[in-house]
Every structure is written in structure tokens, then in C-alpha cells.
Structure 1
Amino acid sequence: MPFELDIGLVSRAGRAPHNEDFAAVQPADDHTRVVAAIADGVSAGGRGREAAQTSVASLVRDFFCTPATWEPTVALDRLIGAQNAWLHGINRRRQPAYGLTTLTALVLSGQSFTLAHVGDTRAYLLRQGQLEQLTDDHVMGGTDFAHRLSRALGLEDRIAIDYRQGEVLPGDVFVLLSDGVHNVLTPRQIARRVGEAGGAQSLAEHLADAAWQQGSRDNLTALVVRVQGVQDATLDDITRQAQALPPLPLLQPGSVIDGLHVEALVADSGVYRVYRVYRVHDGRSGRRYALKTLHTQRAHDREEWAALAHEAWVARHLQTGPAAPHLVRVHTLAEVALAATAVPGESALPQPVPSPSASASASASASASPSAFYLLYDWVDGETLAQWLARRHRPAVVQVVSLAQQAARILGSLHRQGVVHRDVKPANLLCGPDGVLRLLDLGVALTGREPAAVRALHAGTASYVNPEQWDDPPAPADAGSDLFALGVTLYQLLTGRLPYGEVIAYQRGRYWRDPVPPSRHNPQVPIWLDAIVLKAVARSPAQRFETAEELLLALERGAARPLALPAPSPLSVRDPALGWKLACLFSALLNAVLVYWLLFLPR
């Protein structure tokens, strides 16, 4: 969802002979990022206007040419630093100086803002009636030097830039002013006029008019950005919000956290205990949720925080796509509060919560801020396929094929959106009471935006990891890794066994033999399904399905268009050490002949 902004801009010469201020606003083509900047040229050399205009124009023009992977502070630092070096180089060669300028730049991205500031232009934020000055003036101290700049673009070869970042909420008003306006208007007067004015353009004109009426003798420039609706949270937003929150302590049944009542601890992951999952219910609506948080032993590991924040971002990114019905929906605490308001007293299975309006979202964000870092997922009753296997429940072949088709559709949707799950297994496939298969746990998913620690992790459950990930060096996980894991899951559902046997965690898998056809263990499995399963779990990537859509098509065609059974692998392929074994056998036989010749044959 793009930003919804109301923008106003006024720049006048006022009582000064020339207007040396310059301001501009530039949105991205998709309106998901916006850059606004204001500059006040210094006229000692007579070229302050050119310095201000080139600084603002180059910034708003070039910002969207920087790589999308750069943080806003990195992009601003590179661009402003380059402009400063250019201005300083000209000023050093020309006398009098070409020009100096102040600069205040605002970047809105996702649900956060980034402010870069040099000089004595100012930025204010009006939020819920409270006006906050976001910048500090870079001027020399003392009455005599009150308007002498201590920092400006072009003044020195290197520039120190002040940065500030924060959250953006609907209803926020950002006001950027030159010193001709803010030197004569008090913060109280600015806040009062923001409250009185209607649109952003009207507010900008009111501020310039008020400064004129109060005798300002400088240029009058006001740039107003009123936020009416914010974009969906970016990964940077979620990570920043997560790292600003404290860790969640160990919870006991009966504990209450942010209005959520803990019913039970339902999962405590693995030996290293990275995550805990609780079943909780909202005291206002009675709805159940799954609360996922870091284990207390890992709560101070910032890489784990970034990984959990990445999971939240992936879950929200996918819940509006075609795979949404097959994924468990993640909620913010504000959405939980809105759901409780919309359906008071409801205790049925939670349904997807519609996106709130801008004003409702702002109110909920203000009143429902989490006290610690955790994720809230819908709680869905049902059983995982691992629970089926644990109680030795072997589903009918028709049901297994239906589940495999749903899983292939889910993975196909994820892969088309550039997401690799990396941990497909029965424990992460939940069959709900509505018969819909859901894929759980996006904690180690790859998106291209995942933290480096997540990318470097040899993720997945060992018995479901494709053979090439055990190579040295290991092949990176990709969409084929998910399809291999799904094939192993399908084999296990049909036979109750793993195609290559149990692989011990953190040890190299052994793929020395071809899997036994599932029909050998389960006579109800038809031959056409044998071919599909064996192709899915083939040891060679070239023999497997290339895409989830190819696997789905084979399952839908079934016996109508059966696949050929894969040819058995040669012995030399099944046993790479065969040559060494034969050499050892030949050496042993030769030694035996030599011993016999030395001991028993006449000389």
C-alpha cells in the first residue's frame, strides 16, 4: 500500500531582495517512498540560491537511483557527502566563494522516517497535538554570532550530518522551515496554526504569512507533509521496532501480557531452545492466538531478534498473496485490539481481520503498543502431519494425494514470490478442522532480505535436506530443496518410513542407495504414485521436479498421464567408494597369493 500524503510548499523572497531558499518533494514511482528537502543558501558570495537549488535537486533526483538494499541513512550520507565535496571544491577554487547552503531532508519509507540535517533550517513533527523540534541549529554560540553557521554544505571538505529516525503514524504532520520563518514564530504559534489550517498547502501559506506579518526580513519557505495513510511495515521497520522492545520473560499458565492470557506452553524448540510458543487468548474477545517469542537464553542475541523480525515481515508479506489461506495469519497487537472492539465477546475460531482504516490504525497503535517483543499468530485447531505419524495414523492414499496437491500449491505460491521455506516437514504441515492444509514456521525462510546469520544457517531437519546441501562446499538451499523435502514427507505419509532412513542432526546424510518404491511398503500405493514419489526424492537434482507446478500437474494427472519409473542408479553412482573397495580387494587377493607362493610353493 503506498503512502497517502497531503503536501504543501511555499517559498517567497519576503523582504529580502532575492529568494535564496529552495525546497522540493519527490515520491518514488510507486509512492512507497518519499523524499522532501529544504535548503537555505548563504549569500556571502552571491550564489547561495544555486547552492541550495543544486543540493536539493540532486538529492531528490538521485535518492531513488541508489540501491534499494541501502539504508536511508547510507543513501543520504553518500549523496549529501558528494554534494558537499563538489561545493567545497568550487568554493576553494573561486573567490569570492561560490555559495554555501543549509539542508534538511526527510525520507518516508514504510512506517518510519529518516531525517538528515545540516545548518539552521528546521524540521518539526506535530503528533496528537504535541509539537516536537526534530533538529538542532548548527550556529555559533553567543548573541553576536547567533546567525553564523557552524556547519553548512560547502564549508569544509567533510561534512558532519545529524540523523534522526522514528516511527510514522497516520495523522503526523512534518513541517520543514527556513530560518526566515522559524526565527520569528514560536513553537506554540506553529502548533496553533497547524491545528487551525485545513490542508497542507493552506498550512504552508499560513506559516509564511504569519512570519511576514511578524516582521521577518529573510526569505520565507515552508514545506508541510501531512501523513494520511502509511505504507505496510518494511523489514527495516519491524527490525527497528523489535530491537526497541525488551525481551519477553518466561510465562506461566495464567500469566497476562498486554491483555493476553497465557493458557499453555505448546512448543519449546530443540536443544538450543531458540523459540517458545504459547497458546494465549484475548481477554476482550476470547479469541485464541499463538504467541511466539525468543527463548530467555537467546533473548539478548540481536541476530536472533533480527531473524524473528524477518519472520514477522515474511508472514505479513505473504498473507495478502494467493498462499494466504494456507498460511497462519500474523497480527499486530493493534489489530488484536481492533478485532476485540469489532466483535466483543466472540470466542470462536479467529477469522482474518480486515485492514483497519487509517484513523482506526492510528488510535489502535497509540493504545495497543506491545510491552515486549513477540509475534502473534492465529491459533488454528487441528493436527500436524507429524502428530498423525506419531499415533501411527496412516491416511488413505487419496487423502495423501490431496494433501500433496495443497502443499505443492502453497510452495509454488511462495516460490513465485521469491520465498524459500527451507523447513518443509510433517511437523510444519497442519491439517485444520476445515480440511485446509497450512504451512507453519517461516523462521528460516530465505527472501533475499534475511539476516546474514539466517542465510548462513544450515537450516532444515536433517532427514528432509536434499543431498547436495551435504556437499563440500554445500549447495545453497533453493526451491528444489523445498520440493525434495515435500517428496520425503509424501513418502513418509504413504509408508511410515523415510526414503533414505533417519539422518542424525548435524551429521552428513548418507544417500548411497535408491529409495525403495513406496508400494513395496504399502501395497495400496499405485504404480503411478510410485513414479511421482521416487522422482521427487531422487538423489540427482536433474531427475527431480524443477518446479512445484510440475509436481502438482503430475499429481493431478495421476494414472491418466503416468510418469515413467526412474531407472536405477549404477552401482558406481550408488557407491562412490566402489573403486577404492575394488582396489583394496584386489590388493588383498594379490597379497594372499604372494604369501601362499612364499610359504608353500617349491623354490
Structure 2
Amino acid sequence: MASESLEQTLGGADEMLPFAATLQLVVGQASEKGRKLQNEDAIGIRIPSGIPLISKGVVSVISDGVSTAEGGAHASAISVSNFLADYYSTPETWSVQTSSSKVLTALNRWLYGLGQDYRDARRGFVCTFSALVFKSCSVHMLHVGDSRIYRFRHGELLQLSHDHSSHINSSNQYLTRALGMDVKLDVDYKTLSVEVDDLYLLTTDGVHDVLTEFEIHRKLTALCQQHPKLTDNLCEKFCQMLNKKAFDLGSKDNLSSQLLSVSQLPKQAIDDVYHSLSRQPFPPPLSVGMKLDGYQVTHILHQSQRSQVYRVENDEGKTFCMKTPSVNYIDDAAYIERFMLESWVGQRINSTHVVKVVEQHKIKSALYYVTEFLSGISLGEWLTQHKKAPVEEVLLLLKQIELGIRAFHRRETLHQDVKPDNIFITRDGVVKIIDFGSCYIKGVAEISSP
């Protein structure tokens, strides 16, 4: 079982997301070879801490290596271990669907490629794959093959997944979809709302081909009645009991099951959110010569009702821009959340044509962020000065703007406020997109916030 602590260990202020990481699950799993010579199933659960718990969530994966494929056992092991590793390596700004689909597409092509080394396709690397990703107040289901995912809620059992198999007769069937079977992968994906005390059960066919839904429902009902408050240990024992029951009933396949219970969801009252967001104080309006965390103000570049921008120098004499929030919004939780997201987004967009947010390696005493200093003019000013600019010059600027926008889109982020005043042209002719205040981030939009 791949698992990490649920305890939250947030990084420095620049890394923080302005959301609560209070998603909590109790989990258990078990896998046995049963009557087979080897266990071709693979299972894994990963519960990260800190920022990944908020931005990526909790992942549970179950896979069954196809018995007729000689590489089935390797395929299932590869699919589980690699998905649990690679999913968390995708950008934090990506949605669950984008992150998981890109990882699964790469996994499928890899397994399919490995299978091509065999002259007989039946000896390829083929396996089923079923996964749940719990993020904020939703669960995302990914499924291909005939492993199953059930939800037990308010005493009712519901099969969420659909078996991708075709029955030849009462005793024989074959998979119609699986990882590594074809170069093109078709995965079932759906998003469902989550409730506290929901139970999610994942099984391979060695279990559910023998145990009826009635029997599974009866076992889950008894578990909840006997233990209103589940623990990891109880969930693991339940999975072991379920596997043993299938074995006793004559299952001839490997036996694997996972049980996950939702014990807490990240919902907070607006007062709790404000308290969390206001841990860092607003800096006062700064004047030339004043210092904040080693940055000395040399010029006031912009002041408005919503924010201030200063030209500053650090102790080494390097020049930067500092943006601070307006004290007019000191009690506005939505404004503070948006301001914090500006620097968070800026640190994750890496492009020559997007202004760089400077990472801070020390704790900040107030709420602000620092960017590279740009010397030049805005596109609005440039247009005023160049009313009849050559087409070639205009096309060169447009190409750079396009590259900057593409950098946002690669992170599933929309700038949403691209206008001449937010496009800067340096003295070297390099175009930079500035201002992250209106950005829409797909991965963040999946996180519930009051």
C-alpha cells in the first residue's frame, strides 16, 4: 500500500494555497493470490500531505493483470506504481481529468509498446485499471476493464463502473477494453459529489464474480452497524474478510479489494476561511525609502483602490517590483484569496513571455509578492507611439504574445484579462504578459471554497 500521512505540512508562504486541506479518509486494502500460482493483481492508495492533498487529492488504484497475457502481472504492477507516482508529478494547475488522462495515455502506449515485442499478442502487457481520485468535495472515477467500483451510501449499494467485457457463454468472457490492449485508449471518466460517511469499494473479478451484490451489500451493512466509526485497521480487516469469503466460495482467481470511507470533507464557515487567510497582515502603504523584509522602496510605480506596485531593491542592490494589497480590502476574504492566488499562479507559469514571480526563501512578514523588474512600456503606450508600425514588427509582437498565452494554457490556466495595458514590451523588444489577478485555474476551480 502506497500511503502518506494526512497530517498537513504546508510549505513557505509563497507555496500556500488559500484553501483548507481537511479532506480525510480512512482506508484499507488487501490482495491475495488465491488458488493461482502468482498474484497478478496490483493495488495502491496514496494519501499525501500538505499542498498535494489540496491540489491533487487522494488516489486509490486497483488493477488486474490479464491471465492470458504473459506480461499481465508486470502490466498491473507498472500501471499502479507509475500512476501513483506520475499523477502527483503533473502540474498543480491541471485538472484531475487532464492529469490522469495524460498519465494513462502514456502508460497505455508504454504497455502496448512492450507487448509488441511478443509475436503472439496474447502474451502482451494487458491489465484492467480502475481508480478513484478524491479531491475537495468530489470523487473522480477512471475505469477501463472489468474490475469494479461500488459506492455504499445511506444503506444503498451502487455499482459506479461498467464492465468492459463480452460474454461468450455462461462460463467464458473476454475483455473488450483494457490498458495495453490497443494503441488507442478509451477510459470511462466521471465526477461525482462526495458525502461524509460514503464508502467506496474497489474489487477485482476474483471477488465480485463470486460474491453477489446482495452479499456485498449485506457485508457492508453489517460493518457499518457494528462499527459506526471506521478505522484504517477495520477497513483492512473488512477487505481481508471479503477476499476470504470469495475464496471459500470457490473463486479460482486472484483476490483484491480496497475500502475507503470519507470521514471529513473540506468545508468551512466563511469566518474560518477568513481567519486562515488573514494570518499574514496587510503591509501599510509604503513610501520611498521604507523597507519591507529587506526590500527598500525606490519608486512608487502604481497606486489604486485595489493594490500598490513599487520598484524595490534588495540588500544586494538587485531591482524588483513589489505588489501589495490595498488595506481597503483587509476584511474581504475573496479579495485576499485572489491576491494569494496571483503569486501562486505566477510561480507556476514558466515562459520568457510571462513576467516572472520571484520565489522567496524566507518567511514573509506581510502579504505581498515580488516579480522581476521590467524596463520598457506597455503595449497600449507602444500603440500610441507607433500608429503606423510595419506589419513585420506587429507580427513579431503577436507571435510573442501567442507564446505567452500558450504558456498559460499548457497549465490549464486562462489569463482572462489580456489587454494592451497587461502586455509589456521591454527595451530589448521582449513581450511579457503581466497581471495574474483575473486568472482562471482549472485545477484550483475543482477545490471547493465558501
TM-score between both structures, scaled by the size of structure 1? 0.42
Alignment of 1:320-469 (within 5 A): 320-322=276-278, 438-439=331-332, 442=335, 445-448=338-341
Tell me if 1:48 matches 2:66. no
Tell me if 1:4 matches 2:24. yes
Q: What is the CA distance between 1:144 and its match in structure 2?
A: 5.9
2:118 alignment partner, one of 84, 87, 94? 94
Q: 1:207: which partner in 2?
A: 242
Alignment of 1:542-553 (within 5 A): none
Amino acid in the other structure paired with 2:240: E
Distance 2:240 2:381 in 1: 63
SS at match of 1:14: coil
Q: 1:129: which partner in 2?
A: 155
Distance 1:419 1:178 in 2: 54
SS at match of 2:28: strand
Choose between structure 1 and 2: higher strand proportion: 2
CA 1:10–1:319 in structure 2 vs 1: closer, same or farther (change >3 Å)?
Answer: same
SS at match of 1:25: strand
Tell me if 1:109 matches 2:122. no
Q: 2:104: which partner in 1?
A: 80
Alpha carbons 1:139, 1:151 under 8 Å: kept: yes
Q: 1:565: which partner in 2?
A: none
Distance 2:90 2:155 in 1: 36
Tell me if 1:14 matches 2:34. yes
Structure 2, gaps ≥5 residues long: 1-20, 228-233, 283-305, 309-321, 346-376, 383-419, 422-450
Distance 1:471 1:46 in 2: 62
Alignment of 1:12-411 (within 5 A): 12-30=32-50, 31-32=53-54, 33-96=57-120, 97-143=123-169, 147-197=173-223, 198=227, 199-232=234-267, 317-322=273-278
Alpha carbons 2:168, 2:174 under 8 Å: kept: no
Distance 2:22 2:249 in 1: 39
Alpha carbons 1:28, 1:64 under 8 Å: kept: no
Distance 1:6 1:440 in 2: 31
Distance 1:39 1:45 in 2: 14
CA 1:172–1:411 in structure 2 vs 1: closer, same or farther (change >3 Å)?
Answer: farther
Determine which structure has more spread, i.e. the larger CA radius of gyration: 1
CA 1:440–1:44 in structure 2 vs 1: closer, same or farther (change >3 Å)?
Answer: closer
1:468-526 Cα shifts (integer Å, max 9, x gaps):
xx964389xxxxxxxxxxxxxxxxxxxxxxxxxxxxxxxx99xxxxxxxxxxxxxxxxx
Alpha carbons 2:61, 2:80 under 8 Å: kept: yes
TM-score between both structures, scaled by the size of structure 2? 0.55
Alpha carbons 1:109, 1:231 under 8 Å: kept: no
Q: 1:542: which partner in 2?
A: none
Distance 1:62 1:445 in 2: 29
CA 1:208–1:145 in structure 2 vs 1: closer, same or farther (change >3 Å)?
Answer: closer
Structure 1, gaps ≥5 residues long: 234-311, 327-409, 413-417, 430-436, 453-469, 476-507, 510-603
Choose between structure 1 and 2: higher helix proportion: 1
Amino acid in the other structure paired with 1:95: R
1:257-277 Cα shifts (integer Å, max 9, x gaps):
xxxxxxxxxxxxxxxxxxxxx
SS at match of 2:164: coil
Distance 2:333 2:213 in 1: 51
CA 1:79–1:145 in structure 2 vs 1: closer, same or farther (change >3 Å)?
Answer: farther
Distance 2:333 2:259 in 1: 44
SS at match of 1:113: strand
Q: What is the CA distance between 1:320 and its match in structure 2?
A: 2.3
Alpha carbons 1:44, 1:99 under 8 Å: kept: no
Larger relative contact order, structure 1 or 2 (CA cutoff 8 Å, min sep 6): 2
SS at match of 2:174: coil
CA 1:120–1:442 in structure 2 vs 1: closer, same or farther (change >3 Å)?
Answer: same
1:208-258 Cα shifts (integer Å, max 9, x gaps):
12211221111110111111112348xxxxxxxxxxxxxxxxxxxxxxxxx
Q: What is the CA distance between 1:16 and its match in structure 2?
A: 2.1
Distance 2:257 2:62 in 1: 8
Distance 2:324 2:195 in 1: 32
1:46-99 Cα shifts (integer Å, max 9, x gaps):
221111001100001111111011111111111111111011111122234232
Q: 2:380: which partner in 1?
A: 473
Distance 1:90 1:54 in 2: 12
Alpha carbons 1:129, 1:195 under 8 Å: kept: yes
Q: What is the CA distance between 1:446 and its match in structure 2?
A: 4.8
Amino acid in the other structure paired with 1:320: S
Distance 2:323 2:171 in 1: 57
Distance 2:175 2:83 in 1: 21
SS at match of 1:24: strand
Alpha carbons 1:184, 1:211 under 8 Å: kept: yes
| Backbone CA RMSD of aligned residues | 3.7
Distance 2:156 2:115 in 1: 41
Amino acid in the other structure paired with 2:85: R
Amino acid in the other structure paired with 1:473: G
Distance 1:446 1:473 in 2: 24
1:565-599 Cα shifts (integer Å, max 9, x gaps):
xxxxxxxxxxxxxxxxxxxxxxxxxxxxxxxxxxx
Distance 1:123 1:112 in 2: 15
Alpha carbons 2:40, 2:72 under 8 Å: kept: yes
Distance 2:36 2:333 in 1: 65
